[in-house]
Amino acid sequence: MNFSFLPLADYMEPNNIENIEVAERKYLYSEKSKFFKNLIFTIPLIVFIILFVFFQKNYLNSFQNTLIGDRKIRDDRILGHFPYKETSFENLVEISPDILVHKNMYKSLLKMRDDAKKDGVYLVFLSGFRSIALQKEIFYSLKSIRSQIAIERARVSAPPGYSEHSTGFAIDIGDALNRETDFEVEFQNTNAFQWLKKNAAKYHFKLSFDKKQNSVDYEPWHWRYEGSIEALKIFEASNRKRLKL
Ligand SMILES: [Zn+2]
């Protein structure tokens, strides 16, 4: 028993130590390599996650901004009309009996009428500034007279607070020689309209409701002035929508 025990113990002891040492070296070596291997995979993964989160956040932000922007435009409009503030009375000038327009546009408007006259075309002003109170009267009284619901009426008249006429920068124009076409689509067949179509832009006037509009009916008689920064600011949302910005 003793004889066999001692050599066995002698034999096993160094062997055990050697085994442990080797095992320890192997263990350390493999741990180190695991660590580096992990590092090789982890660093690009972390970089990828950071970049992904960064771009995702930016993308989401711009996406949200687009949504907010669109919603803002959508929410601000009522039945296809943008909201407009009523200009103050001191900004208005009378250009013909009971027709007031913004002081920033009246010179341009009168020049346009005079130049048309030189070409043998007679423009007549039908409606300029309208207070929100008057617009309210027009919108609601005509709506009930014609038995129209708001959505139908809004195709031909803006709800109060949503009319370009309240800014003082809108003007309804007729042909003095064809008064039966006042406020009618047939106005487009008159010399006055043909002249305006060709020349109004020179005086900074633009047709507000052309045939491309789908929520508001075509109004060949309704023009708005865009010849000043103030006017451009007022009509910015409408122009942006048309430009699809
Ligand atoms: Zn009008």
| CA 126 – ligand 1 centroid, Å | 9
In terms of domains, do 58 and 103 share one?
Answer: no
In terms of domains, do 125 and 215 share one?
Answer: yes
Query: Is the pLDDT confidence value at 6 over 60?
Result: no
In terms of domains, do 215 and 105 share one?
Answer: yes
| CA 163 – ligand 1 centroid, Å | 8
pLDDT tens per residue, range 187-205:
999 999 999 999 999 999 9
Using CA atoms, how far apart are residues 144 and 151, in angstroms rounded to an integer? 13
Return the CATH number at 126.
3.30.1380.10
Three-state SS at 123: strand
pLDDT tens per residue, range 117-131:
999 999 999 999 999
| CA 185 – ligand 1 centroid, Å | 13
- Residues with catalytic function: 219
Structure tokens at 166: 């309240």
pLDDT tens per residue, range 10-28:
545 555 555 555 555 555 5
Enumerate residues with CB within 5 Å of ligand 1 (an ion). 172, 222
Higher pLDDT pick, 211 / 178: 178
Residue 83 within a domain: no
The model's pTM: 0.68
Q: Write down the mean pLDDT value for the chain.
A: 82
Query: Is the pLDDT confidence value at 171 over 50?
Result: yes
Three-state SS at 9: helix
pLDDT tens per residue, range 217-226:
899 999 999 9
In terms of domains, do 69 and 138 share one?
Answer: no
Using CA atoms, how far apart are residues 135 and 208, in angstroms rounded to an integer? 17
Q: How many contiguous H segments (helices) and E segments (strands) does the chain have?
A: 7, 6
| CA 199 – ligand 1 centroid, Å | 19
In terms of domains, do 62 and 169 share one?
Answer: no
User: Which helix (H) or strand (E) element contains residue 205?
Assistant: strand 205-207
Residue 107 within a domain: yes
In terms of domains, do 159 and 51 share one?
Answer: no
Q: What is the pLDDT of residue 9?
A: 47
Region 32-39 average pLDDT: 72
Domain termination residue (choose one: 42, 76, 110): 76
Instruction: Write out the residue range of the structural domain in which residue 66 sits.
Output: 30-76
Residue 10: partners with Cβ closer than 8 Å, 6 or more residues away: none
